[in-house]
Chain A
């Protein structure tokens, strides 16, 4: 009875899902695979600030169409503010003005960008920028050698070394980057101390050195359009002039960046936001890849033939909400993987959905770094917990103590990562704190009660379950399917329901009861 009911429900779910899916694909032409080459992006800036009751003028630096990107469309949401855009020598800006603003205010700027292939920009006749100096000219070198201040000597030595070790312009730049990154080098310390005050990190030094060598270079602040994110960090990199074009490059290695991904916003440490009459200003950026063309056309057709499709489509939601759903819709798939691994395979793991949560955390850090950090933090946490046990702390305070230590560990890793220039430093802060703490507690209890090998087995099992879940959660194809065809989740539900009544053996049980299976044969 229950079985028939279940089969009917499963049948209805699958039929509904496939019905809607095939209608959307065949009749309305929704794309089944994402247009991965599409280089159109939507970025959104959210500027929040606090007015003091005085007139407010706020200038926001905007991306322009001069470089690798073309601004196709832009819009502002700033009720009560007068808005104009202006371009001066430092770049394009939006200026928001209001007679009096009291209290908190939020302004939104949204813009749609297309990466432009430089090769087809034949009309680019902007003049080559002028080098600050040309060190490679002999008289310049002589002048430096005659005026030997410590800074100039250091500069001369670094530039000469880079020149000696390089074959062409590009390898000269790479050598320079390699030298400028080494803060143990006395010459670099001299340059930091004696150079212009704005030299604060490796990319600043690279710009300074390149300029001194006669290669035009500038410092850039902008956004790397990489994945869809609600919290796109403002990155810094450098641009140098090579063979008649600006090359975007990493500030530490001088490795060129992907031009279709590096969106410059301001140059030479210009502020992103300035003006007066306000305080506590903050800007956060969100980035989303556009499912342009085919999807847009499909939605237009939908408007005409089946308005309900659009009305129920997640693509009509505001961008930051869409981004939330891009993650949320993948969690059921992760759960399905866990059901398969635990119910059918019999993988040992802590808790039920801990592996999915771990996988979600890895999404923020990348797999390998995530695993390393996870293992490191859990191991340290275990040691500390053992120590807290010696101090005879009770359960809840001990958990809280471990949680606080884990917070410190993350902070330490973030700071160390930042100091070493490793990006994971930032993303680890999104690592779910409570999950790690609970993992530590669970693991140490298992350790005490069932021994180290059982605890290790479960820990490794949890990580092993998290890996396939991670690949599911990070696949661009699956993400596309999930957000464009959310109805397919009904199939996932149907499979999970079916598995819910699976009474067959787990794969691990075969090994466990091998003797019994063989006894039957004899």
Chain B
């Protein structure tokens, strides 16, 4: 082999961006379905249809002239999240947990003046944080309160679980933990911690930050390994159910585990990143290929989870093939 290092990647079964784009996203995700996941309002309707828990919707702002609605919503709910309907990569999202006379209180305690709030809303409406171009809408949603199990694992923000679902079958998952460095965001490229999860029992296996292994959460010094993610079977079921329902073959499902509501859908992603492999120290390809070979996928969600678990353990999936195939 001329490229020794590259062939090592292939041996580890690492899924590269080119391969992800062509062999999985282009092949399994029909373009016409993208609006389903790109528009958070549609995603929400779809999730409700599939019987999946979603954050409560407090209101939608469609035009600049409606920006004042935020004041009424704020008075009623006090704690909420503002996000663009077609936003990508978390851009534009803002979390508030209180109301003052002069403005809204952000998570860090600062008061954002009303004029700044409305300017931000207008920026979101002009599509500044959105995919494609042109205008967008703004969702005002319930602020999800993470499960108390995360109190010593998430700094300043909400941790979430990302599950890669392929043909309705969960394939790999990771826990994303915000840190002081990531400014309370769970995004890995901004310095959040990614922790690989054992798909069968929901226990974290290792943690990475900036592609390097970490044992302890830097802000709390609590171990990130061997952490049992609460409500794991419900998480798997939510991801599998929704992944099957939207019709996208290859999709990332982001889930927040709430104290009271349990696993709740945060968002869907039609182009989930490949960093999850580093967090699990495992290539995606050997997990995707057996499912790619399956001729049909059962409609029953428990059957699919059974396949997911067998696949994770590395068992052959022949027994899930229909007789005669």
Contacts and interface: CB of A to CB of B under 8 A. Distances in A.
Interface of A: 343, 346, 392, 394-396, 445, 449-451, 454, 501-506, 509-510, 512-521
Contact of A505 (B9, B89, B116, B189): B9
Contact of B22 (A450, A454, A503, A518): A503
Given A503-B16, A515-B278, 8 more contacts: A501-B22, A503-B18, A505-B6, A510-B6, A512-B278, A513-B12, A516-B278, A521-B8
Interface string B88-128: 01110000000000000000000000011001001100111
B123 A394 contact: yes
Interface in B268-303: 277-278, 281-283
Interface residues of B, number: 36
A454 B18 CA distance: 21
B68 interface: no
Contacts of A394: 122-123, 126
A518 B211 CA distance: 13
B17 interface: yes
A513 B280 CA distance: 11
A505 B278 contact: no
A509 B16 CA distance: 7
A134 to B, nearest CB: 72
B11 A346 contact: no
Given A395-B126, A521-B8, A516 B190 contact: no
Interface of B: 5-6, 8-12, 14, 16-19, 22-23, 89-91, 115-116, 119, 122-123, 126-129, 189-190, 208, 211, 213, 277-278, 281-283
Interface of B is mostly: helix
Contacts of B11: 517, 520
Given A394-B122, A510-B9, A454 B128 contact: no
Leading 9 A-B pairs by shortest Cβ distance: A517-B8, A503-B19, A520-B12, A395-B126, A392-B119, A505-B16, A516-B12, A513-B14, A449-B91
A510 B5 contact: yes
Nearest to A448: B91
A517 B18 contact: no
Nearest to A513: B14
A16 B303 CA distance: 54
B84 to A, nearest CB: 12
A126 B278 CA distance: 82
A509 B278 contact: no
Contacts of B190: 450-451
B162 to A, nearest CB: 17
B191 to A, nearest CB: 9
Contacts of B278: 512-513, 515-516
Contacts of A501: 22
A505 B22 CA distance: 12
Contacts of B208: 515
A517 B14 contact: yes
A154 B285 CA distance: 84
Nearest to A346: B17
Contacts of A445: 91, 128
A509 B281 contact: no
B114 to A, nearest CB: 12
Nearest to B128: A395
Counting chain B CB atoms within 10 Å of each CB, the highest count among A343, A396, A520 belongs to A520
A395 B119 CA distance: 10
A4 B161 CA distance: 41
Given A515-B213, A516-B12, A395 B281 contact: no
B115 A516 contact: no
B14 A509 contact: yes
Contacts of B17: 346, 506, 509
B210 to A, nearest CB: 11
Contacts of A521: 8
Contacts of B123: 394-395
Nearest to B191: A451
Contacts of A503: 16, 18-19, 22-23
Given A517-B9, A517-B12, A520-B12, A392 B115 contact: yes
B262 to A, nearest CB: 30
Contacts of A517: 5, 8-9, 11-12, 14
A515 B275 CA distance: 12
A503 to B, nearest CB: 4
Nearest to A520: B12
Contacts of B89: 449-450
